Amino acid sequence: MTTFTLSLNLQDCFSHDRTAAETGDVPWDQTVAPGDIALGETDPAARAGIMGAMAAIAAPDTTPTLGVGTLTPAQWEAYFQDWLGFLRPSLPLPWQQVEEYELSLRFTDDREIQAFNHQYRQQDQATDVLAFAALEADYPVLSFGESPEPLYLGDIVIAVPTAQAQAQQQGHDLTTELMWLASHGFLHLLGWDHPDEAQLQAMLQQQQQLLTQVGYSPAQPSFCP
């Protein structure tokens, strides 16, 4: 069996110094509808430049505090590694043969994720998680010299205030909700989607398995289309 590694680029752009209204410490506005972006809902050129766009849109007063929730960056990377190991046998054969993978996980606030949602989905409202997948049939695995680049899976963006509100509604802690949303985004990066109820239920069951794999169990899974 081929061994593999997964590298995680974790960016925490959620500022803990903002006002209660901005950070979600006040009652959640029910008019803000959480949701997610499915694989293929942005064009390849947009996805290719998403991290640069994030840097341009990001609020200038954010304060990095890596390890939102109770998890450190190393723990997040280990959990994604475990998830990839669990799912790897179901990936297309060429992806299984890759030895190095990479993805980005970004924690942010409702203001920034609303800007992304507006720019890439034409929906001017906050949401809980966005996933921008890089893997497609024609996605090239580039190389520099003799060493191939890691296979870049894509980018996951999670709004912490919305996640916190959903955690309270569902009866579990923030870390569990962040894990739930991260697993949902991760499945989208690997090609999962939910265009109908049957595929949605299959995806939610797979998320339950991923969280169980690393010792978490949501009291009641949150999902807002």
pLDDT for res 145:
41
What is d(CA 209, CA 204) in angstroms, rounded to the nearest whole number? 9
Give 155-191 pLDDT, tens digit per residue. 999 999 999 999 999 888 899 999 999 999 999 999 9
What residues contact residue 12 under an 8 Å CB cut-off, 6+ apart? Answer: 64, 65, 66, 67, 68, 106, 107
> Shortest CA distance to 123 belongs to which of 48, 34, 187?
34
Give 198-210 pLDDT, tens digit per residue. 998 899 999 999 9
Around Cβ 50, how many Cβ atoms within 10 Å?
21
Q: For residue 160, which amino acid is it?
A: V
Parallel/antiparallel/unpaired status of strands 129-133 and 151-159:
antiparallel
Exposure class string for 163-199: b at 16+ Cβ within 10 A, else e = bbbbbeebebbbbbbbbbbbbbbbbbbbebebeeeee
> Shortest CA distance to 179 belongs to which of 38, 97, 78?
78
Around Cβ 27, how many Cβ atoms within 10 Å?
8
pLDDT for res 69:
64
Parallel/antiparallel/unpaired status of strands 100-108 and 5-12:
parallel
Q: For 147, phi and psi rounded to 5 degrees?
A: -105, 120
Q: Which residue has the tokens 């989607």?
A: 193
Give 143-160 pLDDT, tens digit per residue. 434 446 788 899 999 999
Give 20-58 pLDDT, tens digit per residue. 333 333 222 222 233 333 323 333 444 444 444 444 444
Give 70-122 pLDDT, tens digit per residue. 788 889 999 999 999 999 999 888 888 888 899 999 999 999 999 999 998 88
Residue ranges and CATH numbers for the domains of the chain are 5-19+31-213 (3.40.390.30)
3-state secondary structure of 150: coil
> Shortest CA distance to 158 belongs to which of 176, 135, 131?
131
